[in-house]
Chains A and B, each alone.
Chain A
Amino acid sequence: MIEICPLADLPAGEAKRVLVPPHPPIAVFHTEDGAVYALDDTCTHQDASLADGWVEDCRVECPLHASTFDLRTGGVDQPPAKVGVRAHAVTVQDGTIYVELSDETPNLPPGVSYGASA
């Protein structure tokens, strides 16, 4: 479990990019209706930060091109991104956000890598 930040530091409607080396950075979203989700931050199409994207109805739209990702599953709806991002389990305990990183292999865009090879 990784401690992210107090919930109060991430207002509803906002997202933040969190570095979790040696893993790829993650994006943590606090939606307008109060839920908290975490995805890999890097879009699978090109190197863009999903934390800079737009959240609407449980999906985040990549800020660069039109693909959107499901905040619950990481699934992608339409090109140009062809594969989803990983979703990470989130818990909020005593007002603090924690994330349990997925152990799947991340789907990073061409030319982007993290960890030992980065």
Chain B
Amino acid sequence: MTDTVATPSLIKTLPGAAYTDPAYFTAEQAAIFETMWFCVVRSADIPDPGSYRTVQVGRESLIISRARDKSVKAFLNVCKHRGARLCTDEQGQVQRSFQCPYHAWTYGLDGKLIAAPNLTKMPDIDRVEFGLTSLPVREWLGYVWVCLADEPPSFEDSVQQDIVDRLGDLDSISHYDVADLALGKRIVYDVAANWKLIIENFMECYHCATIHPELTEVLPEFADGYAAQYFVGHGAEFGPDVKGFTVDGSEGLDKIPTVADDQDRRYYAITVRPQVFVNLVPDHVIIHRMFPLAADRTVVECDWLYLPSVVEAGKDVTASVELFHRVNSQDFDACERTQLGMSSRSYREGGVLVPSEHHIGAFHDWVTSMVGTPRQEA
């Protein structure tokens, strides 16, 4: 349970070791990233049969690819012969098979073992059993989600429930038509901070007035320190003089036509555990996918999605992208600065959460319920 300290205003955070200890990070990989649905790529990143991306999920490297029948597949990126990593590039296109560069075991786009030197001399080799290990896959919001658990949790009760808990229902997000939006911009951030610091930062707005001058101009209510994620179904309203969700409050892009009137001129933010942030504004959607790589390193891929007509027409999205790119940079700088303090003796027992951050305590309780209590380093 969340610890309170002597002062009722304050709740304790996790101890510093939860953010620095490689053993705790490994435990998180096993108990969180390898048990939950994990959002890996935008479906449009792998448009054709043989297109693939490689991603790190927990302790595993995965190949996410499209098969001949256009379905999406996820495979462990490991040869069934003697374990060589099959694909080392971050993305690519194979013609008809994945071939191991070591002894040329060759797998079809469906994962089955198609060929290998002397394979006909070994008729007892089952081509499915010795095919690539496939993982369960879901597509939702135009993204591919995979799960490394033997028994994946219900997608509805996990991923979709996090959306419902924040917005009140799934209808609200369906108005943004996220699956059919087009990628206007992608920026990848390599952040020298623990993934939990990035989530905690995204959940609170106590820092907004200090580090996000542009965002606070657009969303004046953020200056009071209560984030959109403190309330259920609440979107922060644009300031009266603000024309759009842009770096200077200038006009945005074409509004997504199905966005409801009460969603207009508002910003909604959702954390989908364990590694996705969804940001909704009337003319675009911003999705962050985090790839935790080490206790002190997280790669964040951030996509700005617009109506396909906006992207196809080559409309200028610079002022639109620049607002959240600045927010990202400001946030990730703050997370990196915080990471530096995590190993200090003064943070051995952790820090404190003020009332507008108290909801982060629930996130900490969830982490410890999944992983166990981090040890406090002596």
Which A residues lie at the B interface, using CB under 8 A? 17, 25, 41-42, 46-49, 52-54, 63-65
Tell me the chain B residues, 100-129 only, with Cβ under 8 Å from chain A. 104, 106, 114-121
| Contacting residues, chain A, for B96 (C-beta < 8 A) | 54
Contact pick for A49, options B99, B104, B115, CB 8 Å: B115
Given A52-B114, A52-B115, check contact A63 B106 (CB 8 Å).
yes
Which B residues lie at the A interface, using CB under 8 A? 96-97, 99, 104, 106, 114-121
Contact pick for B118, options A41, A47, A63, A65, CB 8 Å: A47
B104 touches A65 (CB 8 A): yes
Highest count of chain A CB atoms <10 Å: which of B96, B120, B121:
B120
| Contacting residues, chain A, for B121 (C-beta < 8 A) | 47
A-B contact pairs, 22 of them (CB 8 A): A25-B120, A42-B120, A46-B117, A47-B117, A47-B118, A47-B120, A47-B121, A48-B115, A48-B116, A48-B119, A49-B115, A49-B119, A49-B120, A52-B119, A53-B115, A63-B106, A63-B114, A63-B115, A64-B104, A64-B115, A64-B117, A65-B104
How far is it, in angstroms, between the C-alpha of A72 and the C-alpha of B117 when the chains are bound?
25
With both beta carbons as reference points, the residue of chain A lying nearest to B103 in the complex is identified as A64
| Contacting residues, chain A, for B115 (C-beta < 8 A) | 48-49, 52-53, 63-64
| Contacting residues, chain A, for B116 (C-beta < 8 A) | 48, 64
How far is it, in angstroms, between the C-alpha of A92 and the C-alpha of B376 when the chains are bound?
79
How far is it, in angstroms, between the C-alpha of A53 and the C-alpha of B96 when the chains are bound?
10
How far is it, in angstroms, between the C-alpha of A64 and the C-alpha of B120 when the chains are bound?
13
How far is it, in angstroms, between the C-alpha of A22 and the C-alpha of B96 when the chains are bound?
33
| Contacting residues, chain A, for B104 (C-beta < 8 A) | 64-65
| Contacting residues, chain A, for B114 (C-beta < 8 A) | 52, 63
With both beta carbons as reference points, the residue of chain B lying nearest to A45 in the complex is identified as B117
CB distance from B262 to the nearest CB of A (A): 55
Highest count of chain B CB atoms <10 Å: which of A25, A48, A65:
A48
Leading 8 A-B pairs by shortest Cβ distance: A63-B115, A52-B115, A47-B118, A64-B104, A49-B120, A46-B117, A63-B106, A52-B114
CB distance from A50 to the nearest CB of B (A): 10
| Contacting residues, chain B, for A17 (C-beta < 8 A) | 120
How far is it, in angstroms, between the C-alpha of A42 and the C-alpha of B115 when the chains are bound?
12
| Contacting residues, chain B, for A42 (C-beta < 8 A) | 120
- 17 further A-B pairs in the complex, CB-CB below 8 A; given A48-B116, A49-B115, A65-B104: A17-B120, A42-B120, A47-B117, A47-B118, A47-B119, A47-B121, A48-B115, A49-B119, A49-B120, A52-B114, A52-B115, A52-B119, A63-B97, A63-B115, A64-B104, A64-B106, A64-B117
How far is it, in angstroms, between the C-alpha of A41 and the C-alpha of B99 when the chains are bound?
20
With both beta carbons as reference points, the residue of chain A lying nearest to B95 in the complex is identified as A54
How far is it, in angstroms, between the C-alpha of A106 and the C-alpha of B81 when the chains are bound?
30
Highest count of chain A CB atoms <10 Å: which of B104, B115, B116, B119:
B115
| Contacting residues, chain B, for A52 (C-beta < 8 A) | 114-115, 119
How far is it, in angstroms, between the C-alpha of A34 and the C-alpha of B97 when the chains are bound?
25
Highest count of chain B CB atoms <10 Å: which of A25, A41, A49, A64:
A64
B117 touches A48 (CB 8 A): yes
CB distance from A35 to the nearest CB of B (A): 21
CB distance from A42 to the nearest CB of B (A): 8
CB distance from B120 to the nearest CB of A (A): 5
How far is it, in angstroms, between the C-alpha of A54 and the C-alpha of B116 when the chains are bound?
14
| Contacting residues, chain B, for A41 (C-beta < 8 A) | 120
| Contacting residues, chain A, for B118 (C-beta < 8 A) | 47
CB distance from A53 to the nearest CB of B (A): 8
| Contacting residues, chain B, for A46 (C-beta < 8 A) | 117
| Contacting residues, chain B, for A65 (C-beta < 8 A) | 104
With both beta carbons as reference points, the residue of chain B lying nearest to A41 in the complex is identified as B120
| Contacting residues, chain A, for B97 (C-beta < 8 A) | 63
How far is it, in angstroms, between the C-alpha of A61 and the C-alpha of B75 when the chains are bound?
25
CB distance from B333 to the nearest CB of A (A): 49
